[in-house]
Structure 1
């Protein structure tokens, strides 16, 4: 039996089918928050695919509004601070209809709205969250490149100092 290479589309399809099983939990980054007159839409991005998923909420439906409040509260924001969700990483669950934020499900999700107090995150909380996300994204290659660039800048500034002094 001859081995063959998968095409990019086949590989992507296999990766998606592995993840998109009913009840599977993943982490997704909210890449866009759009609030209109009667709808709100969260666009979710995943690190394992270039495609994004969109979750819509009807602002005239009490249940959808409660779900949206739970998603905001799970991330530490108030309902009127939905735009702060952009860039946040939230837990999501795959259902038959697609990906849904775990906090929007009955019983909440990890850290669901049932036990979370409705509070606004402080500037320190937001800065700490962003800093830890940034540190988690660092790779050995980026650290080495940063050290090399810093070393070259120090040498160049020392040469300039010696020429001026």
Structure 2
């Protein structure tokens, strides 16, 4: 979702955009990252048009032996989500799961990816300026997170 570009905007809308619940302060660290400000002063108009979450339906496809979902034109914390890829190591059987961005977002913490269709979610740590993921870690598995050939509903949010 993206916050309105004009007109009235509420703290509730802003908090929901990054997955926070009320009460929350306008200078909460996540909200400051959303608008790329180091601190106060902050105006509600600073939040116009900002996107701090992704909600949408995505098709999981096979690309070169990987399971991939592509985000199209998906702004997120001043950057842009690109894809979520699950790759299985043929020697160990372990999976790597990486969410990549086409341009670096302002967010530097963990992020949560949830498949709303199946109820499966995972928290991914930041790897570098444009990638979050887990590599070759045994708890990582795309089962019911990415389902090849299925269009599922996904949510991407910042996480602790």
Structure with bigger helix share is 1
Greater RCO, 1 or 2 (C-alpha within 8 Å, sep 6+): 2
Higher-Rg member (1/2)? 1
The normalised TM-score by structure 2 is 0.28
The normalised TM-score by structure 1 is 0.28
